[in-house]
Structure 1
């Protein structure tokens, strides 16, 4: 959600300027109190009605809130019901809902339930691979429908549709191949603790594209972009060619989830 600079003194009904991102305060008030009218928000936040409407217009345009007709319980009064503004699903996602903490707790439980140590790590890895496979269908369809030379780009577009902001580009320098770059990772905070998530994703890319791939960087490791090198078919780095082979977990684990030495 964007935090745009605030307008001058009309912002506060008291005439004082706010030091906080007012637009985010408006959205947060809707989250805390449910669907709200302009008058409700103005009263809670000490803003003028005009200021609230201006922020709501922007939040509606950004798909953070949406206008609805106020529900009337009991006898209707004369006149049109007041319009209320409610958070959209996108708006709720903009707030921290502790999903990362929940995911880490769940994986920690899996790790301990399996006995910890190597067995625990293996259990988390098995979960990560199963998670990837359960989401694999759209990616397989996109890649299988593309020409061989366009498969990395097709995968990037399918990942982008799932929120990974991915792109494919030619590998720089003397590398014969492409780089798959993911500018966003929805599970980055969880993968910091459990790199098995990155490793499972790398293994999946390898199986999907039918070639050995190498993870060069990950957001979870502190890099700005998750970057995977995909060798061009027939190049020296292509260990499997285009045949339908499965990369073993150890083949990807050396680099996935962390930068190679």
Structure 2
């Protein structure tokens, strides 16, 4: 999520440009001030924005209801009287631009350069093994396959893949309509290969992948069954 999408604003709002309505500009500036200077009191924020304290509190209340900031009590410098300050939540922090995917690609390229092609696959397999260990309880082999497949699709959705399930005779079709790891998947096919192996291990049945978003197709389509 970006600062713009937090309030369904156009991308230009992140720079608080003149095209924005004043309330949205103020909210964006409040988030930026808290990001730059850390937890702030309403009085400090009002002073920096050159608005009244009640006006600042109204905008802070909106941001708090939107889950972007939280109110807490702190002692300045660890001493003095406690005061109420506003700080970014994880959701608010995520609204600022991040370069995690680019960093991940750079790190994997260095791993490949230093330790060889196989090292990248080892990294992805270790990640897959860790994920599989967390999911083995939910995807118990003792459960019927239809139950395991439905749980599997739910887990994929929780991981950001926007998965849907269809049945075609004795075969299950799982479509992932989003790839949260697309930047990495386009650079390293090992990621998709490792995930496929993990899915087969978790479900305990044959599975084939027929399409890939990383190859320009609209979904990653998996066929599960005999």
Q: How high is the TM-score relative to the length of structure 2?
A: 0.76
Unaligned runs of 5+ in 2: 11-15
Count residues in correspondence: 213
- The superposition leaves residues 180-222 of structure 1 with CA deviations (integer Å, 9 ceiling, x where unpaired) of 3345444222222112112211121122212222224444444
Whole-angstrom CA distance in 2 between matches of 1:76 and 1:30: 21
- Specify the alignment match of 1:128 in structure 2: 124
Unaligned runs of 5+ in 1: 7-11, 232-237, 239-261
Shift of 1:151: 0.9
**CA distance, structure 2, for counterparts of residue 168 and residue 61 of structure 1:** 31
Given that 1:167 and 1:181 are in contact with CA atoms closer than 8 Å, whether structure 2 keeps it comes out as yes
Maintained 8 Å contact 1:142/1:158? no
What's the CA shift string for 1:157-190, capped at 9, x where partnerless? 23334x325444214xx67522333454442222
Find 1:152's aligned residue among 121, 142, 149: 149
Alpha carbons of structure 1 residues 47 and 199: separation in structure 2 relative to 1, 3 Å: farther
The Cα offsets for residues 107-162 of structure 1, whole Å up to 9 and x where unpaired, read as: 001111134xxxx2x3212221111102212222111163222111111223334x
8 Å Cα contact 2:39-2:87 kept in structure 1: yes
- In the alignment, structure 1 residue 169 sits paired with structure 2 residue 165: yes
SS at match of 1:143: coil
CA distance in 1, matches of 2:79, 2:146: 66
Question: 2:106 maps to which residue?
Answer: 105
Contact 1:164–1:183 at 8 Å: present in 2 too?
A: no
**Cα distance in 1 between the residues matched to 2:34 and 2:80:** 24
Which is richer in helix?
Answer: 2
| 1:203–1:42 distance in 2 versus 1, CA, 3 Å | same
> Does residue 208 in structure 1 map to residue 209 in structure 2?
no
**Given the alignment of the two structures, is residue 114 of structure 1 paired with residue 107 of structure 2, yes or no?**
no
Cα distance per residue 1:67-108 (max 9 Å; x no partner): 01132337636xxx4421111233323333322222111100
CA RMSD, Structure 1 to Structure 2 (Å): 3.2
Higher Cα Rg: structure 1 or 2? 1
Q: Distance in 1 between matches of 2:75 and 2:41?
A: 12
Aligned to 2:189: 195
